[in-house]
Amino acid sequence: MTAISPAGRRALWAYRFFMGTSNAQFTRGVFIVYLVAHGRSLFEMGLLEACFHASRLIADVPLGSLADRLGRRAVITAGLLAGAAGAALMLATPLWLLVVSFALQGLGWAGQRGADSALLYELLDDLGRSELFARETGRAMGLGFAVLALTTFVGGAMYEHLYWLPFVAHALAVAGASWFVWRVPESPQPVDRRATMAGTIVAGWRVLRRRRHLLNALLFGALVNAGVTAVSIFSQDFFAGLGLKPTVVSLVIGFITLVAAGVSAVAHRLTALGMTRAMLIAAVLFASGLLGMYSARPWFAIVGYYCVFLTIDLIYPLLSQVVNDATDNAVRSTVLSFGGLIGGLATTVSFVVTGSVVASFGYTWVFAGLLVLSLPLFGILLRSRPGAGPAVGARTPVTSGDQL
């Protein structure tokens, strides 16, 4: 086993600090309050959220391709700066500027996701320790969640004194994260200069078509993430409808971020179980959580909400490890960005469907519907069971005898 050098440890800490500062969302708890107070309607808020997701969906794969061609750090930095500009522009009052603000933040998200995972994996690969990727991903995510919880609280306190301060702090923190990105060494990209961006995208898609275990991993993550997001978006209204006081609802929802930080930090331990067993645990946890919320009994619902919310944090490091292990440097960011695209599409559909069902039938039907829609998770498990086929191209098996 290769020991990590002091320079390698410094690079890993730089990556963790990048993840932490890029999650310093001082505006998380106040931006809707600010926009509504300045005359924006709930319809316009929905329009702005749609702009965020639309720009992210459009940009996900092209920016992943650019990261494979131009380098991870350059695209991540561009994404961070776009996100910082978008955060600052939220102070604007004209609707068209707010549209630009949310679109820039969507571009910023797309620029970071995929390229950040590839940057970490290739750093560890160069250090001869790629098997530590799931652990380091979980630790970086844990730090990011801890910073998110802290800055959400601090941002609320800032807003009460100077309404513009959380927006400025958010922009400065996200832009400052780029300094840490450039402290992480980057492997030279084996770029074919004759290939176009479209060619890189096609090459990435062909990898997914040939290696179905990768597509299974991305689909599994997308379905879980869509369900988690749908539950999270409407959780405040759901718990209020159960008779919980606003202070209790805030505590339940706020505390989950700190719990997620702890779960992410230890999620890598699932690698000892193998990919299929880990996915089974995640699927059962997700379905059990939905049953708890379906019961509409406050304590069962709270426990169920935590089970649902934490599913993606538990499984993401391992899913990402599988995709990175089986993908070459030349198309790694592109393949990972397809995961963002699939997840974004699933999440957008879940927003629309969940909102419509809640308005027409109530939350009972939402959780019943999500339970039915979770059945494909177990179908993916059947296709991914040990012996269903070799993990083509995987350079570092997760465990022997149990592949995805």
Q: Specify whether the CB–CB gap between 129 and 142 falls below 8 A.
A: no
Which token pair is 378? 């177990």
203-225 pLDDT tens trace: 999 999 888 888 888 888 888 88
Opening angle at CA 260, ends 67 and 24, nearest 5:
55
Which token pair is 292? 């708890």
Percent of the chain with pLDDT over 90: 42
242 CB-near residues (< 8 Å, 6+ apart): 296, 298, 301
- pLDDT at residue 388 greater than cutoff 60: no
- pLDDT at residue 126 greater than cutoff 90: yes
- pLDDT at residue 392 greater than cutoff 50: no
Rounded CA Rg of the chain: 21
Opening angle at CA 314, ends 357 and 174, nearest 5:
85
- pLDDT at position 225: 86
- pLDDT at position 354: 80
Q: What sign for the dihedral angle of Cα 225, 227, 231, 233?
A: positive
> What is each CA distance from 130 to 2, 4, 56, 276, 393, in whole angstroms?
11, 11, 29, 20, 15
Mean pLDDT of 225-241: 82
Which token pair is 303? 């426990």
- pLDDT at position 193: 58
Compute the distance between CA of residue 84 and CA of residue 177 in angstroms, rounded to an integer. Answer: 10
- pLDDT at position 191: 59
Q: How far apart, in Å, do the first and last CA atoms of the chain sit?
A: 25
- pLDDT at residue 19 greater than cutoff 60: yes
Compute the distance between CA of residue 380 and CA of residue 383 in angstroms, rounded to an integer. Answer: 5
Q: Specify whether the CB–CB gap between 294 and 185 falls below 8 A.
A: no
Q: Specify whether the CB–CB gap between 334 and 65 falls below 8 A.
A: yes
Instruction: Pick the closest to residue 289 from 273, 303, 270 (CA basis).
Output: 303
- pLDDT at residue 404 greater than cutoff 50: no
129-167 pLDDT tens trace: 999 999 999 999 999 999 998 998 888 889 988 999 999
| Banded model confidence at residue 401, pLDDT cuts 50, 70, 90 | very low
- pLDDT at position 63: 95
